[in-house]
Amino acid sequence: MATKLDVSTPAARSAPALSNEEILRYSRHLIMPEVGMEGQLKLKQAKVLCIGTGGLGAPLGLYLAAAGVGRLGLVDFDKVDLTNLQRQILFSNDDVGHPKIEAAASRLHGLNPDIQIDRHETRLTSENALDLFREYDIVVDGTDNFPTRYLVNDACILLGKPNVYGSIFRFEGQVSVFGYEGGPCYRCLYPEPPPPGLVPSCAEGGVLGVLPGIVGALQAAEAIKLILGKGEPLVGRLLLFDALAMRFRELKLRKNPDCPVCGNHPTVKGLIDYAEFCGMRGEEAPASQAGVPEITPREVKSRLDRGDDLFILDVREPHEYQICNLSGYLIPLGDLPSRLSELDSSREIIAHCRSGKRSAEATAFLQKAGFRKVLNLKGGILAWSDEVDPTVPKY
Amino acid sequence: MSVKVIIPTPLRAYAGKQDSVELQAATVGEALTTLTTRFQDLKRHLYADDGRLRSFVNVYVNDEDIRYLQKDATPLKQGDTVSIVPSIAGGRGLHGNQA
């Protein structure tokens, strides 16, 4: 499937020339032979769609706008949250509570008023993706979840658009370019997503604020190279970055001849239900939480006030205990199997974590291990802060 | 054969918080068996119930994907690096909302 970009054809030369002000703005590009006037005009004619304006989308948007990409589409439906500001550098304090798309568009317009910014304030779905992507030359994937990643991949392959991929976890990132000139796609790399709950989420795992900055900047570099038609694109290669070790590694990525989307005999010929594909239908709450006996923070509080003997078991990690705690006894979920002897099965145990997810697992585990009187604190410390004691910080 | 197995961030919690493990093995299969024997919790993250490597976990010997070598039977040389590379979603994780 050939996906040579339109912008790399001589048609770029027939584009209107740059204004004197633009020549000055882009002078550091223009004096490099790899970009020059021809390359800068290609950038001006290019149409790039950024999926997400968050951690990855911020450096992407900023560098693509600064570089003079003529038309920049932004897709996001979220609102700016205080926890975003640790890494999402498109937003400022005043933007908290406002739609990301508005804050992002106004920041990028302020950076470069000469470019067109398309605001798509919508959730990307199987119904709208093809129409949305059709308008653009390149799609840059700055999303944060598996269903959208597979959706972006499949839509790009179906339309023959290159997909500049970046993904992050804690202090590790992955970057590649999929679906470019017959190269491999995301499904060649990972045919299927992990089932929900098996891989810890970033909300539990955290992410180093600067990491999406680095990975998003790498994606921006790849997008710009594709537009210019210069250099060696990151096709058929998976770049791994570890910020803690400060090390880059590169792995070979092959096209899978049996790939259901881009292989020799594709079976996926249209967009599917990606929530279902990722096993997430009707699973707003993780499956492990269902059926575990629970108690609300208010009930725990009133029982403690009554003087009931409750053993508060905190199954978070020690560094989380330092942020805030309910004076519970700390045994991280992962250590529970080897530290069961520290618990007294004759006492009533209230297991808790940050949100109630890990402690649900702990409750289920303790029940299996023969503990009869175990309850999961519903909603964890977050709910405790909301319902009982607002002085406990939420994180 | 002494080889190094690189453990990715999401799985370190199940491998004694180590980022790599040195072990003796003649094939990739042997290396992974030794690893999951040493760290039992790792097993369900690497293998599905049918005993096959999970499809969102890739294993590389140096920079080559074992799916295009001899899979589990891929022989190892002294000093080889075996990398376990699972898919990561980015941003906020699996459910696209705060867990």
Q: Which of A274, A283, A271, A257 has the alpha carbon at shortest distance from A192?
A: A274
Q: Is the pLDDT of residue B9 over 90?
A: no
| Same domain (yes/no): A193, A294 | no
User: Scanning the structure block, which residue is given the tokens 């040493």?
Assistant: B38
Rounded to 5 degrees, φ, ψ at A4 are -55, 135
CA-CA distance, A373 to A139, in Å (whole number)?
53
Residue ranges with strand state E in chain A: 47-51, 71-75, 116-120, 138-141, 163-169, 172-178, 237-242, 247-252, 294-295, 310-314, 329-330, 348-352, 374-377
Q: Which of A233, A249, A277 delimits the end of a domain?
A: A277
What residues contact A140, with CB distance under 8 A and at least 6 apart? A48, A49, A50, A51, A60, A64, A163, A164, A166, A219, A220, A223
CA-CA distance, A235 to A175, in Å (whole number)?
10
CB A231 within 8 A of CB A218: no
Segment among A119-123, A334-338, A347-351, B61-65 with least mean pLDDT: A334-338
DSSP class of B66: G
Is residue A392 in a domain?
A: no
The confidence score (pLDDT) of residue A194 equals: 84
For residue A99, what are the CA distances in angstroms to A6, A79, A82, A91, B91?
33, 4, 13, 10, 17
| Same domain (yes/no): A257, A304 | no
| Same domain (yes/no): A122, A148 | yes
Instruction: Test B9 with A193 for CB contact under 8 angstroms.
Output: no
What residues contact A165, with CB distance under 8 A and at least 6 apart? A141, A149, A153, A174, A175, A176, A177, A178, A186, A219
For residue A372, what are the CA distances in angstroms to A292, A304, A347, A358?
12, 20, 9, 19
Which band of pLDDT confidence, cut at 50, 70 and 90, is reported for residue A283?
very low
CB A69 within 8 A of CB A42: no
| Same domain (yes/no): A44, A182 | yes
Instruction: Enter the tokens of residue A284.
Output: 């707003």
The confidence score (pLDDT) of residue A204 equals: 61
Entry pTM: 0.86
Query: Does the CA dihedral A88-A94-A98-A103 come out positive or negative?
Result: negative
CA-CA distance, A210 to B98, in Å (whole number)?
20
| Same domain (yes/no): A325, A251 | no
The domain that contains A167 carries what CATH number?
3.40.50.720
| Same domain (yes/no): A16, A75 | yes
Regarding the domain delimited by B2-86, which CATH topology (the fold level of the hierarchy) does it fall under? Ubiquitin-like (UB roll) (3.10.20)
Facing B90 at nearest CB: one of A143, A284, A355:
A143
The confidence score (pLDDT) of residue A251 equals: 98
Q: Known catalytic residues of A?
A: 202, 353
Q: Which residues pair with A47 in a beta bridge?
A: A71
CB B30 within 8 A of CB B23: no
Facing A169 at nearest CB: one of B9, B13, B41:
B9
Dump pLDDT digits (tens) for A232-249.
999 999 999 999 999 999
Measure in Å the smallest separation between the Cα of A377 and chain B Cα atoms.
15
Is residue A1 in a domain?
A: no
Q: Which residues pair with A295 in a beta bridge?
A: A377
Is residue A302 in a domain?
A: yes
Boundaries of every domain in chain B: 2-86
Is residue A282 in a domain?
A: no
Instruction: Test A198 with B92 for CB contact under 8 angstroms.
Output: no
What ipTM goes with this model?
Answer: 0.89
| Same domain (yes/no): A78, A174 | yes
The domain that contains A318 carries what CATH number?
3.40.250.10
| Same domain (yes/no): A129, A223 | yes
| Same domain (yes/no): A190, A44 | yes
| Same domain (yes/no): A301, A335 | yes
Facing A171 at nearest CB: one of B9, B63, B96:
B9
The confidence score (pLDDT) of residue A199 equals: 62
What residues contact A285, with CB distance under 8 A and at least 6 apart? none
Q: Which of A277, A306, A326 delimits the end of a domain?
A: A277
* Number of folded domains that form chain A: 2
The confidence score (pLDDT) of residue A200 equals: 56
B17 lies within 8 A of chain A by CB: no
Q: Higher pLDDT residue, B11 or A223?
A: A223
- Percentage with pLDDT > 70 across chain A: 91
Boundaries of domain holding A66: 6-277
| Same domain (yes/no): A270, A311 | no
